[in-house]
Amino acid sequence: MNKKKETAMFKRPVSSSDFDRNFRSEVVKHPDASGLSTCFSCGACTAGCPIHEVFPEYDPRKLAKMVKLGMRKQVLSSPYIWYCATCHNCEQRCPQNVKFFNVLNVLKNMAAKEGYAPSCWIKQTKQVGKTGIVFSTEEKWVKKREELLLPVLKLEGKDAKKIIELSGINKIKLKVNSE
């Protein structure tokens, strides 16, 4: 984590003339993020977030606010949107039933299209297209399973490749190194 750079980016004064007024509606247009319209920034999400607990600069309320203000570039290029541990505490705590985990996914999808996805997820997707799972068929695992008398894993990934192609995620390319 390049903490210094990130802190600078989040604390720099922002000018309202840089805001993209369409960003908010673009985000809430997606059914998974529609609930964000009802967020009143109470911060219950942040209070219940385990990542915020160990890395206070990761702040779901702040990210939600930034979306609502239209801070498109700052949100989509932020490494923080990829820090969610997917524990669903934010959703569990939210008095407005905002599913912030799903809102983040919408933001991540938009960021990925603009080339900001961390390379780990792109690599993993390629792997799924090959074996159907997020790992390769390493010899040591195959052998270990044999020794333990577990059924042979058949990882041909024949349909996985098609599924990945159908979904179009094989076309997502890394343009900006956000790590």
Q: List residues binding another protein (CB under 8 A).
A: 1, 30, 32, 50-51, 53-55, 82-89, 91-92, 99, 101-102, 105-106, 108-109, 112, 117-118, 120-122, 124-125, 128, 132-135, 138, 141, 144-145, 148, 150-151, 153-154, 157-160, 162-164, 166-169, 172, 179
Separation CA 58–CA 118 (nearest Å): 17
Cβ closer to another protein: 64 or 111?
Answer: 111
- Residue 60, judged by CB atoms within 10 A of its CB (0-12, 13-18, 19+), counts as buried
Cβ closer to another protein: 70 or 157?
Answer: 157
Torsion angle defined by CA atoms of residues 10, 107, 160 and 156, in that order, rounded to the nearest 10 degrees: 20
Six token digits for residue 13:
């004064």
Cβ closer to another protein: 77 or 124?
Answer: 124
Which is nearest to 73 in space by CA: 30, 116, 41? 116
State the minimum distance, in angstroms, from the CB of residue 47 to another protein.
13
Cβ closer to another protein: 13 or 149?
Answer: 149
Separation CA 125–CA 165 (nearest Å): 11
